[in-house]
Amino acid sequence: MADPAVSTDRYPAVDAVRGLAVVNMVAYHACWFASDAGLVTIDFSAPAWRAWQRGIAGTFFLLVGVGLHLASVHGAGLSPFAARCARLLTCAAVVTTTSVVLDPGRIVTFGVLHCILATSLLTWPLRALGPRALVLAAVALALAALPGIQEFDSPRLAWLGLGLSHAPTFDFQPLFPWLGVVLLGIGVAGLLPRAFLSFRPPGSRLLAVLGKHSLFVYMAHVPVLMAVSETMTWCTKQSG
């Protein structure tokens, strides 16, 4: 979940915002696992829950664009970017493989890591555009909202976000509208003063640490939550 471009320069404000998104992600997934285990009853299709989930994902994708622009500013070349993409690819493969083991009926074929990798590869050539990328972002978002786009309802196009539905899965984050959000992040990063990005919000040190290591936290928190959920389920059965 960290930005896809590696740079030796850290921006505390960016890391803190990403860390806040990580905290929200863990909290949301904790609720999801508790509901999936039958410990609580939650309607995740309710507007508030959907808004929370979309807000978390949107923050991560926006920061992908911010990271791409900052990497361009600091002259990060292809090698660190390729290394980052390789790590994303490996982690995405682990997520897919794990989902097959957990539930073959809900395989993750294009989850958040898959989409971050795809959007990173597609926007890498545009990272130096800065605010001009806002125009491209508007085009991408408009494409995602075109009237009649549901006519392309095909399982082979589901990963693009151009269909009415998709196969059951633990996680699904289509290319649209997130490609537009990444482009928006590139543009926003080009508009924000460097001093603002370098500012460390008071009391945000832990959030910045979480943001700096967000990919590790993302990969680690799921098995931890699963173990906690299974333990609570077992204890509930024993006490009943």
Q: What is the pLDDT of residues 50-85, one digit of tens each?
A: 999 999 999 999 999 999 988 888 777 788 999 999
**By the 8 A CB rule, do 85 and 121 touch?**
yes
Model pLDDT, residue 83: 93
Distances (CA, A) of 42 to 50, 150, 237: 12, 28, 20
pTM score:
0.87
**CA dist., res. 18 & res. 12, Å (int):** 10
pLDDT at 155: 66
- What's the confidence (pLDDT) of residue 62? 93
Tokens of residue 42, six digits: 């939650």
What pLDDT score was predicted for residue 15?
Answer: 94
pLDDT at 21: 97
DSSP 148: T
Residue 142 burial (10 A CB sphere; 0-12, 13-18, 19+) = exposed
Which residue ranges in the chain fall short of pLDDT 50?
2, 4-8, 147
Interatomic CA distance for residues 31 and 76, integer angstroms: 38
pLDDT, tens only, 193-219:
877 888 888 888 999 999 999 999 999
Instruction: State which amino acid sits at residue 106.
Output: R
How far apart (Å, rounded) are the C-alpha atoms in residues 135 and 67? Answer: 19
**62 closest CA partner among 128, 111, 7, 116:** 116
